[in-house]
């Protein structure tokens, strides 16, 4: 660790903080665009003007937007997300359990998809141009070019409708055995793995192939090293940085995937909570979920940045 690296990392952290503030401002501003009065919408058409005025007062809506933004931001940093418009419960309580479920789903998907994707990506680079490489590359392009819900519906068609191995769209609430646990997670995890792995395979294949095009790899080839030796011994160690970067970036695709997957499989995670909150226009809940997601996303992007900084040998003096 030297000062250049530390400075670069500190710079990334600073950029992330600034971005987070801009994101929070955008999220807050977007929710202020709501045409009409929030209190009026909550109480419905039949509400008396006195009731609306009272609710406005109680919700602090009479204050100007800027102080409300800062109050909200300060609350966020202290873990106080406010109250849901719809259920009147503290949002922190609503989110806690759901967040755990989503993290569990993400963790299982990561554990399965990372080894799978890396081995396929490196193998495809090793056998570049062969039939195996072409099959893998075409399949990944196909998966990347279709929406996540199509991957999910195809997975249901294959595993639930034709093969009948798994239940289609149900989520079992009481999990009593390991088998049931597997069944519950199987479909969401399979779908997410496809979406994430496709990205990761493409990026890791590209990273290895790019390293193979460097002069020292050509040198290894010229002195008679086999393709396998060139890839595994010469190219791979230097491609590790870009590959780790690719893994972190691909994991940020979990976010888009998880929104669709939790909705389609009725999985009680935080993304489903957010989609439902959008449908009921529960703005504080939407804001909180959006901030949590953005935070996770920015963390992964920053992790990818830091990995690529650390893996750059030119900075290691």
Partner 1 sequence: MTAVTNFIARKSGYNINLVGLCSATVILFWAIVALIAPMITPYPVGEIVDWDYFGPSSSAFWLGSDYLGRDVLSRILMGARFTVGISLGAVTLACFIGVTLGMLAAVIGGLFDQVLSRFLDAFNSIPSKLFGLVVVAAVGSSVPVLILTLTAIYAPGSYRFARALAVNINTMDFVTVARARGEGTLYLIKEEILPNIIGPVLADFGLRFVFIVLLLSGLSFLGLGVLPPNADWGALVKENISGLPFAAPAVIYPSFAIASLTISVNMMIDNLPKKIRDRED
> Is 148 near partner 1 (CB under 8 A)?
yes
Q: Which of 260, 242, 228, 248 is nearest to 301 (CA)?
A: 248
Q: Which of 294, 299, 309, 310 binds partner 1 (CB under 8 A)?
A: 294
Phi, psi of 205 (to 5 degrees): -60, -45
Q: How far is C-alpha 246 from the geometric centre of its chain's CA atoms? A: 14
CB of 234 to partner 1, least distance (A): 29
Q: Which stretch binds partner 1 (CB under 8 A): 127-135, 201-209, 211-219, 248-256?
A: 248-256
Contacting residue, 5, 8, 9, 19, with partner 1 by CB under 8 A: 19
Nearer to partner 1 (CB atom), residue 230 or residue 287: 287
Angle (CA) 91-95-98 rounded to 5° is 155
Is residue 161 at the binding interface for partner 1, with CB under 8 A as the rule?
A: yes
CB 266 within 8 A of CB 277: no
Q: Quick check: 26 binds partner 1 (CB under 8 A)?
A: yes
Pick between residue 54 and residue 256 the one whose CB is nearest to partner 1. 256
The yes or no reply on residue 275 touching partner 1 (CB under 8 A) is yes
Q: Which residues bind partner 1 (CB under 8 A)?
A: 18-19, 22-23, 26-27, 30-35, 141-142, 144-150, 153-154, 156-157, 160-162, 168-169, 252, 255-256, 259-260, 263-264, 274-275, 277-279, 281, 283, 286-287, 290, 293-294, 297-298, 301
């Amino acid at each position: 660790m030297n000062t250049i690296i530390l400075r670069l990392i500190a710079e990334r952290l600073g950029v992330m903080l600034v971005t987070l503030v801009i994101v929070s401002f955008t999220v807050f501003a977007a929710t202020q665009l709501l045409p009409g009065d929030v209190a009026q919408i909550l109480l419905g058409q039949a509400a008396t003007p006195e009731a609306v005025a009272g609710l406005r007062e109680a919700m602090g809506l009479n204050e100007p937007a800027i102080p409300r933004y800062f109050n909200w931001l300060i609350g966020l940093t202290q873990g106080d997300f406010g109250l849901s418009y719809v259920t009147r419960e503290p949002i922190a309580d609503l989110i806690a359990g759901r967040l755990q479920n989503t993290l569990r789903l993400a963790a299982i998907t990561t554990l399965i998809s990372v080894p799978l994707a890396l081995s396929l990506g490196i193998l495809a680079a090793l056998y570049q141009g062969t039939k195996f490489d072409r099959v893998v590359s075409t399949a990944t392009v196909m998966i990347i070019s279709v929406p996540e819900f199509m991957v999910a519906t195809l997975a249901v068609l294959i595993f639930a409708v034709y093969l009948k191995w798994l239940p289609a769209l149900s989520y079992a609430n009481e999990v009593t055995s390991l088998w049931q646990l597997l069944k519950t997670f199987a479909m969401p995890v399979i779908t997410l793995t496809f979406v994430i792995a496709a990205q990761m395979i493409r990026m890791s294949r590209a990273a290895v192939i790019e390293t193979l095009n460097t002069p020292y790899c050509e040198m290894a080839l010229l002195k008679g090293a086999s393709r396998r030796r060139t890839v595994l011994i010469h190219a791979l160690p230097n491609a590790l940085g870009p590959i780790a970067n690719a893994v972190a970036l691909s994991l940020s695709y979990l976010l888009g995937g998880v929104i669709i997957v939790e909705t389609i499989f009725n999985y009680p995670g935080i993304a489903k909570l957010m989609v439902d909150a959008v449908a009921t226009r529960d703005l504080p809940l939407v804001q909180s979920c959006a901030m949590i997601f953005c935070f996770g996303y920015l963390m992964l992007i920053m992790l990818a940045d830091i990995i690529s900084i650390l893996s750059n040998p030119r900075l290691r003096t």
